[in-house]
């Protein structure tokens, strides 16, 4: 009996430790991608910005471990507002200072960002976890009666012995989104379309 009592304490602690290790919680990440561009747009250009989140579900994917895989990952706020904020900052870097509706303005440019995919696919292997993140985006430019549509895709992989923390997932997803948006706003075909006046 004495031996059993002595073992009870360590066994209880071990059980609680294992329970804590196997528990995964949902995560919410703040999407604030940075767009890097040194391009310049025509002086005096007025731009109307719009963005739409066309994903079928707000869930990006699910966190996994050896024991369970039901902890979902979502964005902390509407992806539309994140895209608009990043695009607005990028356009300011490109020399645009006039923003607003261009209806009735034949020289106005309308840019629409369409988010088709933002996904997080985690898989647990013997000694490590692999995460594959993918983003698909369209940028539609309407200018002087003509339309240009660019399609941009990026993916990012991450490997780790443990499931990534919320801070790490936020960093990875912002890098992915930043890469995709940077490609869009530096697309030579898009820039040529705008500079030629449509």
Q: Which fold, 41-195?
A: Double Stranded RNA Binding Domain (3.30.160)
* Domain residue extents for the chain: 41-195
- Is residue 37 scored above 60 in pLDDT? yes
For position 1, what pLDDT does the model report?
A: 52
Q: pLDDT tens for residues 80-105? A: 999 999 999 999 999 999 999 988 78
Q: Where does the pLDDT of residue 135 fall: very low under 50, low under 70, confident under 90, or very high at 90 and above?
A: very high
For position 106, what pLDDT does the model report?
A: 78
DSSP assignment of the chain equals: -HHHHHHHHHHHHHHHHHHHHH----EEE-----------PPTT-EEEEEEEE--S-SEEEEE--SS---EEEEESS-HHHHHHHHHHHHHHHTT--EES--TT-TT-EEEEEEEEEEEEEEEE-SS-EEEEEEEEEEEEEEETTEEEEEEEEEEEEEEESSPPPHHHHHHHHHHHHHHHHHHHHT-HHHHHHHHTT-
For position 69, what pLDDT does the model report?
A: 63
What pTM, to 2 d.p., does this model score?
Answer: 0.85
């Amino acid at each position: 009996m004495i031996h059993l009592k002595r073992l009870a304490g360590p066994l209880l602690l071990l059980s609680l430790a294992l329970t804590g290790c196997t528990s995964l919680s949902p995560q919410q990440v703040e999407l604030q991608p940075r767009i890097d561009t040194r391009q310049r747009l025509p002086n005096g250009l007025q731009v109307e910005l719009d963005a739409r989140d066309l994903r079928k579900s707000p869930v990006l994917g699910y966190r996994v471990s050896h024991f369970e895989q039901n902890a979902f990952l979502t964005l902390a706020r509407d992806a539309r507002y994140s895209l608009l904020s990043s695009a607005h900052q990028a356009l300011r870097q490109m020399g645009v200072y006039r923003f607003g509706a261009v209806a009735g303005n034949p020289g106005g440019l309308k840019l629409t960002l369409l988010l088709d995919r933002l996904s997080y696919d985690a898989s647990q292997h013997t000694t490590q976890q692999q995460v594959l993140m993918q983003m698909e985006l369209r940028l539609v430019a309407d200018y002087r009666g003509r339309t240009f549509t660019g399609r941009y895709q990026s993916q990012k992989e991450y490997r780790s012995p443990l499931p990534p923390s919320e801070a790490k997932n936020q960093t990875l997803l912002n890098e992915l989104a930043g890469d995709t948006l940077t490609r869009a706003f530096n697309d030579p075909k898009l820039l040529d379309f705008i500079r030629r006046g449509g």
